[in-house]
Amino acid sequence: MGEQKHAITVSEVEKGDTETPVQYTTPVSPLKENEITRIPTEATLHPKKAISPQSTYHIYEETPLDKCISPVIDPKRERWSGPSLKEQKIKRLQKKERESSGLPPVEPDDAAFYMHQPYLSFHLPPQVLYMGNSKYTAKPAVIMHEGCFWKKYTLQLGPSISQPGVIDPRGVVAWRHNGGDKKALKADRHKLKGYKVRGWRLWGETGKAYVHAVKANRVAGKGPDPDVFDSKSVNPAVAEEVVCLRWMSPLSRHTRCYHFRYMGIDFYWKGTASVRESRACGLLLRFNHLKLVARLPIVDDKKHEEDELCLGRYTCSIACKKSGTLEFFDATILHLIDEYGPSMLDLGSVEEQSEGDAEAERALRLRKSRLYQVFVATAMCMIKSEKEKRHTLMELILGVAEGGGGAA
């Protein structure tokens, strides 16, 4: 009887669908044989919902012109060589089966983005960023106009752009929402540029089925014509907000820097060396990575300085079917919104919820906010421009080398 007794650490285990409280006991001495049982509290049984400190998006190539910005990773397109021919064939068959059964080509994902570049011969229509993983089921959010020589991008966004009929199945603004001629569009950047449905189309133009349907209706003399309407009874849609992304210093040491202003804050997409591609040949992508910073003023009695707050980053990928990974630091962005734009997320109904639910709702609304759309759109503009600059520079170098070799 002189041996010391020890109680069992875990006395009961949950079995089946019954919930049995887990009991924790401490060692019992021979002089004090009383067992201490701790009942799990409500916080233990129902822990707070964990909030991810950042959002990660994987930019995959759907077509040579279209990109899917998805929070879900695709192992097939993560490989250096991309998906195999067999995997591509299976994907095409699955897409045809969904279309034949009346379903969308892909499973809708509201948490993703889709960047579409429409093709219209003899025109340069702007790109469109959709809130979703496909242009067939998603809503358009941002219209992105590209300037000459990657100098300037004009982004038009607002609720009116997502209204039905503003962006037609071709991926361009319908003619009934055209804001006027070139002079009127240049004077007011909120106006949209529309495109007519021609009676002919060249091979490769987007909206093939839509154009053929409009042409058949015109020949048969039935159905409304999208280009014929009463201008007095139709109010063309306009963009509620316009954001300009500018290339800051093309001929300087800091050439990889784009600037835009939103919410009264100066944001910059610039090159960074703090991230890298960890796989083989990742060192070759050293000058492809980017970061998003907000430049905030620091008010001091003696001097006025500016502080940079990092809000996100872009890591280029070595995979042939993946552009890279886009990350946003949600906690930092929410703190910035609380300081400079608390009304942006409309958190009136969130205050009544518990702390954990309120934080989850704030993070969800942030990812659906117009600020996030601006961040993703500006990132895609700079990623595209930087890629085109690198390819143009390589072609010039190869051209000069070939010319020098031929002269020798």
At 306-339, the pLDDT tens digits run: 678 999 999 999 888 999 999 999 999 999 988 8
The helix/strand/coil state of 369 is coil
Query: Which residue do the tokens 């205050």 mark?
Result: 351
Question: Of 276 and 97, which is predicted with more confidence?
Answer: 97
Residue 341 above 60 pLDDT? Answer: yes
Q: Cα angle vertex 393, ends 150, 151, to 5°?
A: 10
**pLDDT value of position 406:** 61
Helical spans, DSSP H, in 81-146: 85-100
Which tokens go with 140?
């358009």
Contact predicate 141/155, CB 8 Å: no
Residue 119 has pLDDT above 60, yes or no: yes
Amino acid symbol at 210: Y
The Cα 63–Cα 341 span in angstroms is 37
Give the C-alpha separation, 299 to 304, whole Å.
Answer: 5
Identify each DSSP E strand in 191-249 by its residue range. 241-247
Query: What is the C-alpha to C-alpha distance for residues 57 and 74, in angstroms, rounded to an integer?
Result: 11
CA distance 97 to 101: 6
Q: How far apart are CA 263 and CA 356, in angstroms?
A: 27
DSSP strand E in 51-183: where? 55-61, 67-70, 113-116, 127-131, 139-146, 152-157
Would you put residue 374 in left (φ > 0), alpha (ψ -120 to 50) or beta? alpha
Q: Find the angle CA(126)-CA(127)-CA(132) to the nearest 5 degrees.
A: 150
* Number of C-beta neighbours around residue 332 at 10 A: 16
Phi, psi for 152 (deg, rounded to 5): -150, 140
Query: What is the distance between the alpha carbons of residues 187 and 407, in angstroms, rounded to a whole number?
Result: 50
Burial class (CB within 10 angstroms; exposed 0-12, middle 13-18, buried 19+) of 185: middle
The band of 358, judged by pLDDT with boundaries at 50, 70 and 90, is: confident
Mean pLDDT of 14-29: 44
For 284, the token pair is: 């070759």
pLDDT of residue 63: 87
Q: Which residues face 272 on adjacent strands?
A: none
In sequence order, what are the residues at sequence separation of 6 or more whose Cβ sits closer than 8 angstroms to the Cβ of residue 368?
Answer: 131
300: confidence class by pLDDT, cuts 50, 70, 90: low
Contact 175, 197 (CB under 8 A): yes
* pTM score: 0.80
The pLDDT score that the predictor gives to residue 19 is 45
Q: How far from 257 is each of 60, 188, 219, 267, 333, CA to CA, in Å? A: 24, 27, 52, 10, 20
List the structure tokens of 14: 């949950």
Residue that the structure tokens 């004009």 belong to: 154
Angle of helix 370-407 versus helix 355-368 axis, rounded to 10? 40
126-180 pLDDT tens trace = 999 999 988 888 899 999 999 989 999 999 999 999 999 999 999 999 999 999 8
Question: What separation in angstroms does the CA of 275 have from each of 73, 287, 313, 329, 375?
Answer: 19, 10, 8, 15, 19
Strand partners, 366: none
Considering only residues 347 and 81, tell me which one the structure prediction assigns the higher pLDDT: 81
Separation between Cα atoms, residue 179 and residue 161, nearest integer Å = 13
- The DSSP-derived string for 70-85 is ESS--HHHHSTT-S-H
Q: How many helices (H) and strands (E) does the chain have?
A: 8, 12
Q: What is the mean pLDDT of the chain?
A: 82
Per-residue DSSP letter, 194: P
Return the percent helix, strand and coil in the chain, to nearest 5: 30, 25, 45
